[in-house]
Amino acid sequence: MKRLLKVLSVSLALVVVAACGSESATTGGNEEGNKSVKMFLDWTPNTNHTGIYVAREKGFYEEAGVDVEILLPGEVSANQLVGSNQGEFGISSQGAVTEARANGLPIVSVAAVIANSTSGYTSPVDRGIRTPKDFVGKKFGTGGGSIAEPMIKMVMKRAGADSDQLEFVRLGTTDLLTAMEHHVDFIHIYYAWQGIAAELRGLEMNFVNPVDYAEELNSYSPVIITNETVIANEPEKAQAFIEATAKGYEFAIEHPEEAAEILIAAEPDLDPELVKASQAWLSPRYQDDSEQWGIQEEIRWKSYADFLFNEGIIDQEIDAAKAFTNQFIENVKR
């Protein structure tokens, strides 16, 4: 999916802007006195983002006194935009936040959208891939990124397989499912979207969960981020936004069908069948076994950061306790 550049405001007005040229975030508000908030997504809207759309449609943001713009960045990532104070919040991942902080970008995760990792390796059943040992001699299609190669090598090592006998094939922006059918043996996917899409295509797939072999790979993805300036100077705004967003995701957990309809109505270019099926699969996994939606554990941040450092993906260790905070989630009124 190609990134688009668009802005969706709470009032449902749609305007096109150059995200990297937007003004620095301030405490400004609208004529009703609500505080303005910019929220950058990480990709084309999908069910990872449903709770945000629900919070907008159900008036949770308005009730909390925040006027939220939902933006899709172009070539500039949500990490960079939020880290440089071009907006207050964004969607990222634990891995991206860790890398960013190692490079001096002051972003902080304030909520885990999904409690446990839902990504892994998938392949057509006729490839006979059921465990990492079956990766040997196969072609692994990857879209690139700094984590993909060390991650699969760790998984194979833990399973007792020789990663030197795995062939890496760079796929770029090719449709990964199509590429897997014709050019490679298996790929890494996010099951809630790509896995469900494969099911809807009628593809018979095997799925290997890397967390079964390396617990430290159970990273939070996606997460909601802000920056240290917002936390220090505008905690009330942050609390209001997180409070309303939490209500949106909690609604999606309890009412997946209605939540899916809200996302479809807001983004009519999405495949309705895929949205509904994905939402039904993902809604119970937003909170999963966590005590409440959005909560994060320091041990998981530290173990994943250690993995990135030990593999040379980041060149300096980070303070895991400063990469995330539960202060806003823990103060959500329940």
Percent of the chain at pLDDT exceeding 70 = 88
pLDDT band at residue 18 using 50, 70 and 90 as cut-offs: very low
Give residue 9's pLDDT. 37
Residue 17 is assigned to a structural domain of this protein: no
Residue 226 lies in a domain: yes
211 lies in the same domain as 282: no
The DSSP 8-state label assigned to residue 312 in this structure reads: T
Out of 194, 216, 238, pick the residue that ends a domain: 216
- Farthest CA pair distance, the chain: 63
| Helix orientation angle between 50-57 and 235-254, rounded to the nearest 10 degrees | 100
Residues 279 and 143 in one domain: no
Given this model, what pLDDT does residue 129 score?
A: 98
Across residues 257-276, what is the average pLDDT? 99
Rounded-to-integer distance, Cα 151 and Cα 128, Å: 21
195 assigned to some structural domain = yes
pLDDT in tens, 204-251: 999 999 999 999 999 999 999 999 999 999 999 999 999 999 999 999
Whole domain around residue 80: which residue ranges?
35-116+220-322
Lowest mean pLDDT among 55-59, 143-147, 284-288: 143-147
pLDDT at residue 22, as a whole number: 38
DSSP string, 234-277: -HHHHHHHHHHHHHHHHHHHH-HHHHHHHHHHH-TTS-HHHHHH
Q: Say which CATH number the domain at 236 has.
A: 3.40.190.10
Per-residue pLDDT at 10 exceeds 50: no
Contact 274, 287 (CB under 8 A): no
Q: Is residue 330 part of a domain?
A: no
In a domain, 7, yes or no: no
Predicted confidence band at 32 (pLDDT cuts at 50, 70, 90)?
low
- Predicted confidence at residue 30, as pLDDT, reads 56
- The larger pLDDT score, comparing residue 188 to residue 19, is at 188
Q: Are residues 253 and 301 in the same domain?
A: yes
Distance CA 108, CA 71 (A): 19
Q: How many domains does the chain have?
A: 2
CB 196 within 8 A of CB 274: yes
Give residue 278's pLDDT: 99
Examine the domain organization and report whether 244 and 311 are in the same domain: yes
Where a domain ends, among 188, 216, 244? 216
Say whether both 62 and 88 belong to one domain. yes
CA dist., res. 280 & res. 191, Å (int): 12
Distance CA 197, CA 178 (A): 11
Above pLDDT 90, what percent of the chain? 83
Query: 220 burial class (0-12, 13-18, 19+ CB within 10 angstroms)?
Result: buried
**pLDDT band of 11, cuts 50, 70, 90:** very low
Is pLDDT at 96 greater than 60 in this prediction?
Answer: yes
- Taking the C-alpha atoms of residue 252 and residue 261, their distance in angstroms, rounded to an integer, is 11
Classified as helix, coil or strand, 8 is: strand
Is 106 found in the same domain as 228?
yes
Backbone Cα Rg of the chain: 20
- pLDDT at residue 40 above 90? yes
| Exposed / middle / buried, residue 124 (Cβ in 10 Å: 0-12, 13-18, 19+) | middle
